[in-house]
Amino acid sequence: MDGDSSTRYSTGVGQYLQVDFGKPIDARQVVFDTSASTGDYPRGYMITTSTDGVNWTTAVAAGQGTGQFTTASLSGAPVRYVRITLTASNGSWWSVADVRAYTAGGESEN
């Protein structure tokens, strides 16, 4: 999110990370990267999306990470905000160093 993989955001169960892409994009996939903290991936998560930050749609009701990259498919409908909520952890937290979204053309939005 800041272009520096050495910085990270950490969250506990029930907390979330919300990303604002600055404008609606036709996202087909979103990737959450733990970078060097490879063991800090989300054991369980839910992803919601919004175009206005007020009305939210559930994109992934129950997902499970498996390593450094947690990848979730989205519908390709316009989204400006993506929120990932941690629903299960390894006993402590989940960390994210970078978030990328991909459109139908394969372009990345950070």
d(CA 101, CA 69): 12
Q: Quick one: tokens of 26? A: 């036709």
Structural domains of the chain, count: 1
What CATH number is attached to the domain comprising 22? 2.60.120.260
CA count, 13 A, side-chain hemisphere, 104: 6
- Let me know if residue 2 belongs to a domain: no
Per-residue model confidence as pLDDT tens digits over 23-77: 999 999 999 888 887 888 888 899 999 999 999 999 998 999 888 899 999 999 9
d(CA 2, CA 17): 14
Contact 80, 23 (CB under 8 A): yes
- Let me know if residue 68 belongs to a domain: yes
d(CA 7, CA 19): 16
Domain of 91 in residue numbering reads as 13-105
- pTM beyond 0.85: no
- Let me know if residue 6 belongs to a domain: no
